[in-house]
Amino acid sequence: MTDLYKLTIGELSGLLSKREIKSVDILNSYVKRIEELDPKISAYLYTDFDEAYKNAEEADKIIASAAATGANAGGGGFPALTGIPLSIKDIFLIRGKKTTCASKILDNFISPYDSTVVKRLKENNYVFLGKVNLDEFAMGSSTENSAYMTTKNPYDLDRVPGGSSGGSAASVAADMCAGSFGTDTGGSVRQPAALCGVVGLKPTYGLISRYGIIAFSSSLDQAGVLAKDVTDAAIMLNAVSGFDEKDQTTRRFNIKDYAGIVKKADKSLIKGLRVGLPSEFFSDGLDPAINAKITEVKNLLKDMGAVITDVSLPNTKYSVAAYYITATSEASSNLERYDGIRYGYRHKDEKGIQSLDDLYRKSRETGFGNEVKRRIILGTFALSAGYYDAYYKKASLVRKLIIKDYKDAFGKADIIIGPTSPTPAFLIGEKTKDPLSMYLSDIYTISVNLAYLPGLSMPVGTVKNPTKEGGVLPVGLQVIAPWAAEDKMLSFAKALEDEVKFRENAGFRKLDVL
């Protein structure tokens, strides 16, 4: 089979269990796909096919050994990710591999250890394809802020894939990997997932370890998954969830078999379920075509027996402001360590360097991009003497109000839904000169991070592409669940996915890159 790249993780794992294919066969299919398409998309910062073939050959040995005992994938014989090729956002440390965070200031940095996510993936015998692009230090909503390249949306090469995990989303959407791991600080997994027509899951804060993930905003950052469907998202979540003694922000959650739970999900669980629609998510800024598509989904859920209920999140209007004060303040502290001395980029032009302070200043001035500098300056100002109470402290108080809003809403609804992004994928360069407009791309996702909740974006259809005749752009539905209720969120999404049938719809294959 030469088109194995089209299959989901669940489908590939099943074929591997039956020994109808080998991991090396899967890898061959993806390598060819990447070599054909990535020169157009620019999702990968670098690939490591030598490492990938070593991983695949080792996985095939593990599967062969398990087969001799009659064991299957996920059934005690070998993990479901065994032999599955994945991409990794270049913000996760992998021992001996380059990790740049798409920033010049880390251009020569080689990771000295594995992040916990990568360590657990290795324990699950995954196949490492390479590192994918992002907005520098995960600061952005379009992947245009990378120091190295601009990633394109596979549905329209003139449009952005979203961000900051745009490389992850584009690599999954174009079938250049079976799945990808990204990070989500204010929507950086869900928003690109929506713009690229894939599933993006941000779990409850503390469910996945942040150890070995380069920090942007410590109270908001969370590792997440980008997958072809809900089942794959559950499989990937299974592999990396759980307490980590190296990360004090992880919690001792009762980790469930998310993949097993999703496998049992069907439309019967929708009947009688209270599905909340926040009025604040349907404001004037929402694109009419997306509004119409979400309304279609609402009507579908009603037909399936869901109880549609209106809920309110009144402090949503303050979420963008609270988020950017919180995130930039924490970024200002986290990025203080990049000084050109200890590791990473150092300014080499000795002219004008009169002191250690000059070296710091020049290294940071030339090593950081404009968006990172903008956020460092804003965060430093917000934390400065005389302004802390007016900005950071007030943002923290607003955060508490947002948490209360969600608690009240979940008293009336079991699940909350709404659009993931206010618009479909926008044109490259369209918003780069208007930072506020760019920041509003995450208006529906930010509050979920502020409230520490799990959120998922799933594709529910397409709308017409206004700039390409016959072209389409994906629409994402955001599903929000109560704290630590990933099982409920995934089950709901799977039941809805089975009815929407996005991957079976011909429109989903209308990739501009093809």
Please report the pLDDT score of residue 386 as a whole number.
86
**For residues 3 and 178, what is the distance between their CA atoms, to the nearest angstrom?**
12
Please report the pLDDT score of residue 475 as a whole number.
98
Cβ atoms within 10 Å of 506's Cβ, excluding its own? 8
Q: Quote the tokens at residue 74.
A: 């996920």
For every residue of 326-343, DSSP letters joined together read HHHHHHHHHGGG-SSSSS
3-state helix, strand, coil in the chain (%, to 5): 45, 15, 40
Residue 1 pLDDT > 80: no
Residue 409 pLDDT > 90: yes
Residue 428 pLDDT > 70: yes
Catalytic residues: 89, 164, 188
Average of pLDDT values for 253-272? 95
Residue 74 pLDDT > 70: no
Region label for 189, one of left (φ > 0), alpha (ψ between -120 and 50) or beta (otherwise):
alpha
Using DSSP, how many helices (H) and how many strands (E) does the chain show?
A: 16, 11
Cβ atoms of 243 and 250 closer than 8 Å = yes
Region label for 397, one of left (φ > 0), alpha (ψ between -120 and 50) or beta (otherwise):
alpha
Domain 4-265+412-509: which CATH number of 3.40.50.720, 3.90.1300.10, 3.10.640.10, 3.40.50.300: 3.90.1300.10
Q: Where are the domains of the chain?
A: 4-265+412-509, 317-391
Beta strands in 133-216, from DSSP E residues, in sequence order = 179-183, 199-202
Please report the pLDDT score of residue 86 as a whole number.
98
Please report the pLDDT score of residue 508 as a whole number.
83
Q: pLDDT class for 70, splitting at 50, 70, 90?
A: low
Please report the pLDDT score of residue 91 as a whole number.
98
Give the angle 260-263-267 at the CA atoms, nearest 5°.
135
Average of pLDDT values for 483-500? 98
DSSP character at residue 391: I
Q: pLDDT class for 417, splitting at 50, 70, 90?
A: very high
**For residues 322 and 221, what is the distance between their CA atoms, to the nearest angstrom?**
15
Residue 61 pLDDT > 70: yes
What pLDDT, in 10s, does the model give residues 113-127?
Answer: 999 999 999 999 999
Residue 212 pLDDT > 80: yes
Which position has the higher pLDDT, 75 or 477?
A: 477
Provide the pairing of β-strand 307-311 with 44-47. unpaired
What pLDDT, in 10s, does the model give residues 336-376?
Answer: 999 888 888 888 876 667 788 888 888 898 999 999 999 99
**For residues 371 and 445, what is the distance between their CA atoms, to the nearest angstrom?**
20
User: Which phi and psi angles does 421 have, rounded to 5°?
Assistant: -125, 145
Cβ atoms within 10 Å of 158's Cβ, excluding its own? 17
Please report the pLDDT score of residue 346 as a whole number.
86
Residue 380: is it exposed, middle or buried by C-beta count within 10 angstroms (0-12/13-18/19+)? middle
Please report the pLDDT score of residue 76 as a whole number.
52
Average of pLDDT values for 287-296? 97
Residue 187 pLDDT > 70: yes
Tell which residue, 4, 1, 5, 60, has the closest CA to residue 177: 5
What pLDDT, in 10s, does the model give residues 16-40?
Answer: 999 999 999 999 999 999 999 999 9
**For residues 248 and 263, what is the distance between their CA atoms, to the nearest angstrom?**
32
Q: pLDDT class for 513, splitting at 50, 70, 90?
A: confident
**For residues 126 and 355, what is the distance between their CA atoms, to the nearest angstrom?**
48
Output the CA–CA distances (angstroms, integers) from residue 58 to 23, 63, 84, 117, 304, in the order listed: 9, 9, 12, 20, 45
What pLDDT, in 10s, does the model give residues 126-149?
Answer: 999 999 999 999 999 999 999 999
Output the CA–CA distances (angstroms, integers) from residue 68 to 17, 20, 59, 79, 124, in the order listed: 11, 15, 14, 16, 19
The proportion of the chain whose per-residue pLDDT surpasses 70, expressed as a percent, equals: 98
What pLDDT, in 10s, does the model give residues 303-344?
Answer: 999 999 999 999 999 999 999 999 999 999 999 999 888 888
Cis? peptide before 171, omega within 30° of 0: no
Output the CA–CA distances (angstroms, integers) from residue 249 to 111, 170, 221, in the order listed: 22, 30, 11
Average of pLDDT values for 105-116? 96
DSSP character at residue 316: G
Cβ atoms within 10 Å of 219's Cβ, excluding its own? 16
**Half-sphere exposure of residue 265: CA atoms within 13 angstroms, side-chain side:** 24
Please report the pLDDT score of residue 352 as a whole number.
66
Beta strands in 216-324, from DSSP E residues, in sequence order = 223-227, 274-278, 307-311
Burial of 338-372, coded b for 16+ CB within 10 Å and e otherwise, reads bbbeeebbbbeeeeeeeeeeebbbbbbeebbbebb
DSSP character at residue 465: -
Please report the pLDDT score of residue 225 as a whole number.
98
Please report the pLDDT score of residue 45 as a whole number.
98
Residue 2 pLDDT > 80: no
Residue 72 pLDDT > 60: no
**For residues 73 and 15, what is the distance between their CA atoms, to the nearest angstrom?**
10
Which position has the higher pLDDT, 191 or 74?
A: 191
Average of pLDDT values for 380-388? 91
Mean pLDDT of the chain: 95
Please report the pLDDT score of residue 347 as a whole number.
84
Element (H, E) at 88: strand 85-89
Element (H, E) at 116: helix 116-123
Cβ atoms of 124 and 239 closer than 8 Å = yes
Please report the pLDDT score of residue 73 as a whole number.
53
Burial of 146-157, coded b for 16+ CB within 10 Å and e otherwise, reads bbbbbbbbbbbe
DSSP character at residue 4: G
Please report the pLDDT score of residue 359 as a whole number.
85
